[in-house]
Amino acid sequence: MTGTTLSQALVQARAFLDSRDVATAGLDARVLLQAAAGVSHEALVMRGDEVLEPHAARTFENFLKSRASGKPVSRIIGHREFWGLRLGVCGETLDPRPDTETLVEAVLTRMGRGTSPYIRDLGTGSGAILLALLSALPQARGLGSDLSFGAVRMARRNALETGLSNRAAFVMSDWGQVPARLADIVVSNPPYIARGELPGLMRDVRDHDPIRALDGGADGLDPYRRIASQLPLVARPGALIAFEIGHTQDDQVRSILGDAGARVSGTGLGVVRDMAGRPRVIVARAPRR
């Protein structure tokens, strides 16, 4: 691509990714070119006649090869946009998904404005859910925890880079087993794929998301059982609980939470659907004791 302009590079890259059956060829080509050339979307439009620097051209070619081999864009450029925040990702973090924004929205629509809740995010990964909530609730504070050291390190870095580190802490912990004050809001997007289904996952997911972020045990529900049993350790009585679920798990997760004494029906409680209309989040209230 040496000697080509930004516009030409974009057209060629799109055609290349199209020919390799990348479904989102146009978008991916643009995002990868922006990252390789270090330019914004606007600059790409305004300065399309500029010639791509040789170093950027080489980087872009390598990016395109990686994408064509199935590597997700976020894994190539090292970050992803979630709830308007630019979050770093690494080999030990899940690539945060747009579906998870359903959970963030479900919590925000149930929170009084101007409140100052304390939030626990169990299995925080990149810190996506906690940082999104803190960015929308300027008086909130929170603690994200994860069993993975690399995830905790990345979440801390993301908190710093999004300017939220004064209200967010991150620690290593097996779910809720770290002593902390009882939370007003408990959120989690735990691993929820049944172990037997892992080999059949899409290549993007199976080959690039960490297994610890996916494997939910024999029936995909083990983490919900563990977290539900720990609710008295992490949630104040009546705290808002919001868990992401696989789209066929609504009945089971409601039962698990109900058996643990949580309230799973009533105004604002129960199942919340994602943009595609599938069950995506269970909202409940923590046991009253």
Contact yes or no for 281/102 (Cβ under 8 A) = yes
Nearest CA to 268 among 241, 249, 245, 244?
241
Query: Per CB under 6 A, does 287 bind ligand SAM?
Result: no
Applying CB under 6 A, which part among 24-32, 44-52, 117-125, 265-273 lies near ligand SAM? 117-125
Query: Per CB under 6 A, does 94 bind ligand SAM?
Result: yes
Contact yes or no for 44/34 (Cβ under 8 A) = yes
**Least distance CB 60 / ligand SAM (angstroms):** 28
Query: Per CB under 6 A, does 128 bind ligand SAM?
Result: yes
Q: Which listed residue (88, 117, 123, 142) binds ligand SAM by CB under 6 A? A: 123
Query: Per CB under 6 A, does 124 bind ligand SAM?
Result: yes
Applying CB under 6 A, which part among 20-28, 57-65, 145-153, 278-286 lies near ligand SAM? 145-153
Question: Given the complex with ligand SAM, which of 44 and 239 has the nearer CB atom?
Answer: 239
Q: How many residues of this chain interact with ligand SAM, rule: CB under 6 A?
A: 21
Contact yes or no for 158/98 (Cβ under 8 A) = no
Query: Per CB under 6 A, does 206 bind ligand SAM?
Result: no
Interacting residues with ligand SAM between 228 and 267 (CB under 6 A)? none
Buried b (16+ CB within 10 A) or exposed e, 19-47: eeebeebeebbbbbbbbbbebeeeebeee
